[in-house]
Amino acid sequence: MVTEEEVKKLVAQFGYEDTARKCTVYQLLSFFAQAAFGQWNSYRHGTLQTSQCGLPKMDYSSLSKKAKNVPFEIFKQLFHLYVQKCNRRTQRKLKFPKELLITDSTKITVGVGRLPWAPLKGSRAGVKVNVAFRPSIGSCIKL
């Protein structure tokens, strides 16, 4: 849906210098899209799948570093670009919110003695914490 030229143009708008040869912002975006479609478990799992979907072979640590270094605003604008390209009927059906949220889901594990009501695996217990963050106003939302 989004061409490499459109991504390069957007990256230039934010002044981000894409110096990588193997893992550009466009390839990272393609990796994320394939990971979502294929429901890949992790960067490591995804790097084993890249050759099957036409992406260049990349190391999982390179992907992780690249994802960390690319400014969030670039991906926010790419998401908005995707939404703009959807036709009106699709936009209404999906009911996209006006504002994009940053979400995180973290598993907190402890010994089973500390949380006996939340057994996880073996002698471990744990809970999963879901958080959404609104970057525009700097506040968290409880999920």
Q: Examine the domain organization and report whether 78 and 117 are in the same domain.
A: no
Q: How many domains does the chain have?
A: 2
Shared domain check, 109 and 74:
no
Whether residue 87 is found in the same domain as residue 24: yes
Residues 89 and 52 both lie in one domain: yes
Enclosing domain of residue 106: 102-142
Residues 73-118: tens digit of each pLDDT? 888 888 888 777 776 677 677 776 666 677 878 888 898 888 888 8
> Which residues are within 8 A (CB) of 66 and not within 5 positions of it... i.e. 6 or more apart?
20, 23, 25, 28
State the pTM of this model.
Answer: 0.58
Q: For residue 127, give the 3-state DSSP assignment.
A: strand
- Distance, in Å, from the CA atom of 57 to the CA atom of 63, rounded to the nearest integer, reads 11
pLDDT digits (tens, 9 = 90+) for 19-28: 777 788 888 8
